[in-house]
Amino acid sequence: MEAHKTVTRSVDNLVHNNVDTGADRAIAEAAELIRNGEVVAFPTETVYGLGGDATSDEAIRRIFEAKGRPADNPLIVHVASIEDAARWTLTLPKTAKDLMAAFWPGPLTIVLPHNGTLSGAVTAGLPTVGLRMPDHPVALRLIEASGRPLAAPSGNRSGRPSPTEAAHVEEDLNGRIPMILDGGPAGVGLESTVVEVTDGQVTVLRPGGVTLEALREVAEHVAIDPSLLKSDEAPRSPGMKYTHYAPDVPLYLVEGELAALKQAIRKAKEDGLLTGAIIVNEWAGLTGAHQEVSVGSETDLAAVGRELYRALRQFKTGEVDMLLVCTFPETELGGAIMNRLEKASGGKKARL
């Protein structure tokens, strides 16, 4: 593992469309690092990414090394336009173009056959690649300034909650990468939806910021991949295999609402355990947990998605012994939220 002095450069003014020559210099410096085969953490509207030149085997090696990421887990490639996407694919089917027109820039990754010009390590040897155009001014300017497609998984150590702030990246990767571009908190907080497009069929490989309902307004044939939660085959997309998003302490899911959560906490206390709870605003102070962190109102799933990873990072070993969270309805963004909680908990259920 190469040692780095990690520097953090603020580019937050560019997020608010303000002129900032210092931010411009920071992006130029980051772009030069990428052209030289280095990796840089940068903000997107979903989470912070760890980006490197998707055509460079050396850059991809550095991404995997910094994250401690399994090599059979493919990387999403970030581009600055639909025209850029066409440079790396064999073809752009009409359905894919329709999805790009509707959701790009935005939190949608589209898996298509690649033309062999990207690093083989990006695609994990698969014949397909996931492409996304992020909806963030810093990300787009970095792609354009570097002149490279950016392979960019989330900028955290593999298995940890994804970073929604630059401080989260620094917590996980300080000394492992040369630079972090700090653009403030991420706006969506959940990774992109990943879909595969084949013969007019859209298959959801990972739920995310674009909901199933929204996809069905654009494409006629949309289905969820049945292997989404299986782990016995090579993943066709990030998030399909391995434990992800795990906090420092064991996480348990509680099926039900406040009454069920209070019962699970009582049981844990009877066993002498210190409990933490991820809650909605309406339950503050009512659970009996030793530590509560709220993720927003129960009527605002967008806020829950935005705050989820920050909340998971709040609970530390030694402060609580177990963490509990109630399940959410799996409609709209609830499906993506529950996908992350299932992965973070390893499917563990609380004793009631």
Q: Where are the domains of the chain?
A: 7-224, 251-345
Comparing 7-224 with 251-345, is the CATH topology the same? no
Higher pLDDT, 87 or 4: 87
Q: pLDDT by residue (tens digit) across 79-131?
A: 999 999 999 999 999 999 999 999 999 999 999 999 999 999 999 899 999 99
78 is in an annotated binding site: yes
Dist. CA 77–CA 123, nearest whole Å? 9
pLDDT band, very low/low/confident/very high, at 232 (cuts 50, 70, 90): very low
Q: pLDDT by residue (tens digit) across 33-72?
A: 999 999 999 999 999 999 999 999 999 999 999 999 877 7
User: Domain 7-224 has what CATH class?
Assistant: alpha beta
46 is in an annotated binding site: yes
Mean pLDDT over all residues of the chain?
92
Nearest to 215 by CA among 195, 199, 229, 198: 195
141 is in an annotated binding site: no
154 is in an annotated binding site: yes
Dist. CA 117–CA 85, nearest whole Å? 12
Fold of 251-345: Rossmann fold (3.40.50)
227 is in an annotated binding site: no
Handedness of CA 111, 243, 210, 141 (dihedral sign): negative
Query: What's the pTM?
Result: 0.92
114 is in an annotated binding site: no
Whether the predicted pLDDT of 20 surpasses 90: no
Pick left, alpha or beta for residue 184 (phi over 0 → left; psi -120 to 50 → alpha; otherwise beta). left
Dist. CA 280–CA 326, nearest whole Å? 9
132 is in an annotated binding site: yes
Neighbour-count burial of 224, counting CB atoms closer than 10 A to its CB (0-12 exposed, 13-18 middle, 19+ buried): middle
Dist. CA 192–CA 106, nearest whole Å? 8
146 is in an annotated binding site: no
